[in-house]
Structure 1
Amino acid sequence: MQFSSLPSSICQLTSLSTLCLDYCKLGDNITIIGELKSLEILSLSESDIRFLPKEIGQLVMLKLLDVSHCAKLKTISDGVLSSLPRLEELYMGGTSIHWRQRSATLADLHALSRLSTLEVQIPDAKAAPHDFFHELQKLKRYKIFIGEEWEWERFRKYQYSGTLKLRLTTGMDDLDLGIKKLLKKTEDLHLGELKGVKIALQELTDEKSIPYLKNLHIQNGFDTEYIINDEYEFPQLQSLTLHDLPKLISFCAQHETGATSSLPQHELPLFNEKISFPYLENLWLKSINVTRVWHNQLSSSSFSTYQKLTTLKIEVCGSLKHLFSFSMAKCLVHLTNFEIIGCYCLREIIFMAEIEQEAQATMTLSLFPRLKSLELKGLTHLIGFCSDYQTQVIEFSTLKSLRIYNCPELEGFIYRSSMKANQCFSNHVLFDNKVSFPSLERVWARDLEKLKMIWENPFPPNSFPKLRVISITKLSSLKYIWKNGPKDIFSFKNLHQIHVGFCKSLKNVFPASVARDLPQLSDLAIFNCGVEEIVSKVEEGLDSETTVTFELDKLSYLRLWWLQECKCFYPGRHTTKWPMLKEVTAAECGEMKIFGTQLITHNQQLDSQPPLFVVEKVIPKLQRLQIGADYIAMISGGQLPNNLFHQIKAFRVEGNCAKLVNDFQISFLERFYNLEELCISVCEIKELFYTEGDTGNKGTYDRTLSTIRKIELTAS
């Protein structure tokens, strides 16, 4: 809402207690608000005011003042804040107020004896008077940001009663000693750019714990080597974030004893036995140079301090070589989300060599019993999540989502190790009989250059019964997703979506046993692959004259693109059924026959390959059709009924620069009664529309043109 100025009649609202002008364009003249002596709540949040006039100081009954997110607000008239004796809540976050420059000062807040809630942003720590933090001990709720570039949250959230963010480019000298008292009450602490500070918390507290701290976030500490100086407790800490601390050696600075006493400084673990996080739920480490997070030989009581951890994210820790021992992994019983990204030196996630004797006796090892999501990205030396140990199966009983990207050395999810030669060897299979995922629903795999196969038969019992989504791209050595074996018992009945792309060595996508049993599949895309057939032939020994039927009853979206080596859908006698197809993309599919008519198909020899689609059965149900220009002549032939294309709303023709096709006759569009989108690329077309004097069914053609909303013509 926009006001050139507030109306003078507003003064008549003598009993008005609440006035909210949020998001309004008020201009510079809001002095008239000072006449509303009964106001208790005044909110100007996200308005365009540039200064708060002295008249606002007349609102002596005011209990709440909100000027948060007034991005243009730079000046508060001197004495305004100290003139509001009943003020209890003051919100000034997200503003550009210049404290100490012909304006109100932060010392004015000392006069507000009833103030219990404060949100304020202080770009320069020097603007805070020497006793500023000491006077804020009375606050029950606060958000205080000191230093530039802290981003103020747009929506007010009160996850924590006390939030303190400090970015001190000149060090700690500009803060008064009251900060230590305020810190005792703080639940949410952010530290950034603590110039010259080697031990982050040493100058902020004299205590052995911060009793109420729930979230600790330390970032951009380019001089920081340690977080604390001695044994320390964080009795309520739930979230810990350490970002961009390139000189960080360890969390605790005291001389190491016990398991870590013999380690050189550059091999010290980030966390040792001196640190206690009994309630830690979230841990995020980014751009720190430690070689290990935990020591492999910590006591079981030390590991148990992390057992409430639910989210773990480790990102761009380029020196990290060791993550979990088996003992540590076994303690993380509440972990639900795990991401590890860009840790270039890491070769395995779990080190299995010291597995306990009692675990050795079991046939199945269950790890992370509540893990839902696992992401492994940019781990350029990773060879596996862990090694197989003897004959055991490792089970991830609750995992639903798995992403593995850009791990070029990956040998397999579980890689095989040779104890005799002390070397690793692998079949380069992502999932073999050493790992079980009874709850897995989604798998994404990309840029895994060594893998030759995704699934190898046989699986452990109940391994992938809930799998819904498979996405496989840029696996340059991949030959098989599934491969027929002597016991061809693959079963993926719950699959809904399969996308496979840029796998140049891939021979086929499905064995026949899988393709014949996909009752839920609705989305299939295969593009830029070297497949010679979509479905491989059934195993040896079956009657070669038997006709195989592929019933894809729920398939709605099929995309086959740039499969230049493809010869057929299936190399034997077969039939296909696609009753629910709505969208088809087919182009550059090699020798595979895509379209055929009922007459041609009926007259084919029994041993010849049928087309993928009989146009009379498939096209009438389609809503979107995208084809290569090579297929235009086939489907635009005069022998086909005119009503085949009535349901199609989007039609796209893709040509090929290497072989221009000029068979496209624009009169073919007469058959598209409901066409809304027309896209033609790299095709020779003499004209797109009829010109005067043309013959043909002009009325029908005009009707087609009237429905088109989008036309796209591209030359390349």
Structure 2
Amino acid sequence: MAREWSNEELEKCTQISLADCNMNGEIWPQGLDCPKLEFFSMRIQGFFEIPESFFVGMQNVKVLSFFNLRELSLPTSLGLLINLQTLCLNYGKFSDITIIGELRKLKILSLRHCKIKQLVGEIGKLTLLRLLDLSDCKKLEVIVPNVISSLIRLEELYMSGCSISWKLEILEELKHLSQLTTLEIDISGDQILPKDFFSKKLERYTISIGDGATDFGGYFIVGDSGEYMEVESYSLNKSAALRTLKVNLNSIIWQEELQCFWNVEFLCLDKLQGIKNDLYELDQKGFSQLKYLHIHNNPNILCIVDSTKCISHDVFPLLESLTFFNLINLEKICYGLPSTKSFCNLKIIEVKSCDKLENVFSLSNASRSLPQLEKIRVEDCKNLIEIFAAESKNRANNNEVIDKIEFFQLRFLTLINLPRIASFYSNANTFSISQRTQKELTINLQSTDINFEDEEIAIVLPFFNKKVVFPSLEELNLGAINSEKIWDNKLPTTSCCYQNLKKLIVDGCQKLKFVFPSSIVKNFEQLQYLKISYCKELKEIVARKETKGTTTFNFPRVALLKLKELPELTTFCHGKHNSNWPMLKELKVCNCGRLDIFSSEYEV
């Protein structure tokens, strides 16, 4: 310490706070004589041995906090603090807390990360206690009967991360805490849960029920066969202060119990028996408060919402993020058209291994229905045909012409291993025009001797229709999609569709012949990172129509260009052309044997 404190100074103290102190008990061998002290806080570094009489001279203290106390037992003088109202002993090494039962005026008790093994009967004497925090007491296994039910004024109870072997009668005691508003608890099994266990309307909670449920909502989701999904939106989910429910249940009776969680904000569902078709069965009010939804490893869910049923209100009006993984029978996220405000705050869509899903949403106008959408990631969905499908409320609207579908907020788009996908946004009008063109061609050819009626007219449609616009898109990752053409030759001249695109990855697109039509290259002036790999039929990066003279292509901001495993790539662009890369810092070319402008392996 910098200096010694005189007895006169200590006698006048009302508050003492010592942060990150490295001291030993010899400094105060008899404890502190601070009769006016009301607040004492000490964060300990190293080993500090508390004398048995340490608290004798501070019996007026109301708030006491020791962080990282390494004493194996609490000093007996702690029981003399009859005026103490707040006690925090987080990260303590002690295991016996019997002495704390003497502190009858205690209102707040925090023992986070302590080594206690049992919540002893003496704690039941703290009838004024309003907050009890036992979070992450990994060795806590036993709660003595009638302790919890004795804490009649308890408002907040935190018990997540404990190793408690819950018994039915102990859980029953929670039902008698009439003033409880906040609960954090992990229950490994669902068979011991009492009836009407969650009949209370809790204001704040983090509750996990079922084996492994405590791990839900994290950075990874593990499938039944060991496969996993990386949840990219994890860092964006501000789940700490949310009402959270994590469920992995085999009990059918729980469908009614879950109705009590009408105000849940973060919902993670794994296996859940009793759901026959759609998630709406769990909340007839449409999950009006839900912000984050994770559903995984559930074979029973066919759809999330069935709008064809008589639903008189909006569903998921506040939902910001949805994450679906390994839902092997999911056919639709939403049957029918949802109401205007349903999903209207959705920002993030992450879907993986949902093999029966044919599209993510069917909407009359996806950009208008999902105005806040910022991120889409879809992977490993074997039967997905499109991300969005155009659907009208009635047949009369099928002839409606939509000039532009503009996703104003979409910044990140990742589509990987979708073998059947044909387009980002299907448009019934475009398809009918193609059909009509084919029919007209057949009619015109009827005068010849050859019948072409059964011939398939090869019309290569771009993956991104020219009507679909992404003015804020920053990153685009296309991996193993079944498309011969990414972009339309002509983008709308009234707006810069890809004016903010900075990163483009094209990987494993086996049918792709080129990446950019020459007419749209100028839309990618912000591009900084370009990687093209494992496209076995790719012949050129930029394709252009035959024109006289030399064409110049500018990539003014590209700093990194990677070309890998492109066996048919022969040139950047056929025909006379120049390309400018003033900011290029790194160029990697690997196993592009026919490329005549670089060697087969080159790096700068």
Query: Structure 2 length as normaliser, TM-score?
Result: 0.71
1:72 and 2:70 correspond: yes
Which residue of the other structure, out of 149, 152, 155, is the alignment partner of 1:186? Answer: 155
Residues 534, 241 of structure 1: alpha-carbon distance in 2 compared, 3 angstrom cutoff: farther
Q: How does 1:167-186 map to 2 (within 5 A)?
A: 168-169=141-142, 174-175=144-145, 177=146, 179-186=148-155
Give the 5 Å matches for 1:525-536: 525-535=505-515
Measured after TM superposition, the shift of residue 61 of structure 1 is 5.2
Residue number in structure 2 paired with 1:604: none
Alpha-carbon distance, 1:182 to partner:
0.8
Paired residues of 2:152 and 2:178 also in contact (CA < 8 A): no
2:474 alignment partner in structure 1: 497
SS in 2 for 1:45: strand
Label 1:499 to 1:146 Cα distance change in 2 as closer, same or farther (>3 A).
closer
**Partner amino acid for 1:315?**
D
Q: CA–CA distance in 2 between the matches of 1:26 and 1:632?
A: 72
Separation in structure 2 between the aligned mates of residue 366 and residue 132 of structure 1, nearest angstrom: 47
1:89 to 86, 92, 106: 86
Match of residue 411 from structure 2? 468
What displacement does 1:493 show? Answer: 3.6
Alpha-carbon spacing, 1:477–1:200, altered in 2? closer, same or farther (3 Å): farther
Partner of 2:249: 288
2-structure distance, mates of 1:408, 1:286: 23
Report the equivalent of 2:583.
621
- Separation in structure 1 between the aligned mates of residue 391 and residue 123 of structure 2, nearest angstrom: 69
- The offset of 1:144, in angstroms, is 4.4
Decide whether aligned partners of structure 1 residues 434 and 199 sit closer, same or farther in structure 2, where only a CA change above 3 A counts: farther
1:343-376 CA-partner distances (Å, limit 9, x unpaired):
23322212445335xx7xxxxx964233222221
Instruction: Name the SS of the counterpart of 2:418 in structure 1.
Output: coil
Q: Distance in 2 between matches of 1:515 and 1:632?
A: 35
The match for 1:519 is: 499
* 1:124 to 1:582, Cα distance in 2 relative to 1, 3 A: closer
Q: What residue is the counterpart of 1:234 in the other structure?
A: 200
**Is the Cα contact below 8 Å between 1:532 and 1:568 reproduced in 2?**
no
1:504–1:528 CA contact under 8 A, matched in 2: yes
Instruction: Output the amino acid matched with 1:450.
Output: N
Give 2:127's aligned residue.
137
**Partner letter of residue 207 of structure 2?**
T
Amino acid at match of 1:526: V
Write the distance in 2 (CA, Å) between the matches of 1:498 and 1:406. Answer: 22
Work out the CA distance in 1 between the residues paired with 2:387 and 2:119.
61
Change (3 A) 1:474 1:27: farther
Q: Which residue of 2 aligns with 1:406?
A: 353
**Cα distance in 2 for residues equivalent to 1:127 and 1:505:** 60
- Is the alpha carbon distance of 1:114 and 1:331 closer, same or farther for their aligned partners in structure 2, counting shifts above 3 Å? closer
Gaps of 5+ in 2: 214-240, 393-399, 435-464
Q: How does 1:529-678 map to 2 (within 5 A)?
A: 529-535=509-515, 548-551=519-522, 552-573=524-545, 576-593=553-570, 595=572, 608-609=574-575, 614=578, 617-618=580-581, 620-628=582-590
TM-score normalised to structure 1 length: 0.61
In the TM superposition, residue 446 of structure 1 has moved relative to its aligned partner by: 0.9
Equivalent AA in structure 2 for residue 80 of structure 1: S
Q: Per the alignment, in what secondary structure is the counterpart of residue 324 of structure 2? A: strand
- Bigger-Rg structure (1/2): 1
Q: Distance in 2 between matches of 1:9 and 1:239?
A: 45
Percent of matched pairs sharing the same residue: 14
CA shift, 1:21, in A, is 3.0
Between the aligned partners of 2:320 and 2:36, the Cα distance in structure 1 is 52
Q: What's 1:201 paired with?
A: 171
Matched with 1:698 is none
**Match in the other structure for 1:118:** 109
Letter in 2 for 1:491: V
Show the counterpart of 1:211.
Answer: 178
Change (3 A) 1:553 1:7: closer
* Cα separation, partners in 2 of 1:329 and 1:610, compared to 1, 3 Å: farther
The corresponding residue for 2:453 is: none
**Deviation, structure 1 residue 81:** 1.0
1:453 Cα offset (Å): 3.3
Q: Distance in 2 between matches of 1:394 and 1:113?
A: 52
Q: Paired residue for 2:210?
A: 244
Whether the aligned pair in 2 keeps the contact of 1:329 and 1:367 (CA below 8 Å) is no
What amino acid maps onto 1:557 in structure 2?
Y
- Matched residue, 1:164: none
The alignment partner of 1:179 has SS state of helix
Cα distance in 2, alignment partners of residues 224 and 30 from structure 1:
54
CA distance in 2, matches of 1:48, 1:55: 21
Query: Partners of 1:82 and 1:341 in 2: how far apart?
Result: 50
Counterpart amino acid of residue 528 in structure 1: G
CA apart distance, 1:566: 0.7
1:94-150: per-residue Cα shift (whole Å, max 9, x none)? 211132xxxxx624652x46544433467556573x44312x1134x5334399417
Partner of 1:106: 98
Q: Go from structure 1 to structure 2 and tell me whether the alpha carbon gap of 1:60 and 1:50 turns closer, same or farther (over 3 Å shift).
A: closer
Give the count of matched residue pairs. 518
Match of 1:397 in 2: 344
Gaps of 5+ in 1: 100-104, 151-166, 248-279, 360-364, 415-430, 538-546, 597-607, 637-654, 665-678, 681-716
Cα–Cα, structure 1 residues 235 and 629, in superposed 2: closer, same or farther, change >3 Å? Answer: closer
Q: Return the alpha-carbon distance in structure 1 between the equivalents of residues 169 and 47 of structure 2.
A: 42
Q: Decide whether the 8 Å contact of 2:290 with 2:319 is kept in 1.
A: yes
Report the residue type matching 1:241 in the other structure: I
CA contact (8 A) 1:369 1:397 kept: yes
**RMSD value, Cα:** 4.4
User: What is the Cα deviation at residue 500 of structure 1?
Assistant: 2.9
Matched letter for residue 475 of structure 1: L
Q: State the alpha-carbon separation in 1 of the partners of residues 363 and 34 from structure 2.
A: 77
Q: 1:447/1:33 Cα in 2 relative to 1: closer, same or farther (>3 Å)?
A: farther
The answer to whether the 8 Å contact 1:243/1:288 transfers is yes
Structure 2 residue 313 is matched with structure 1 residue 368: no
Match of 2:42 among 41, 44, 48: 44
Give runs of aligned pairs for residues 393-472 of structure 1, distance below 5 A: 396-414=343-361, 433=364, 436-455=369-388, 464-466=406-408, 467-472=410-415
Residues 195 and 223 in structure 1, CA contact (< 8 A), matched pair in contact too = no
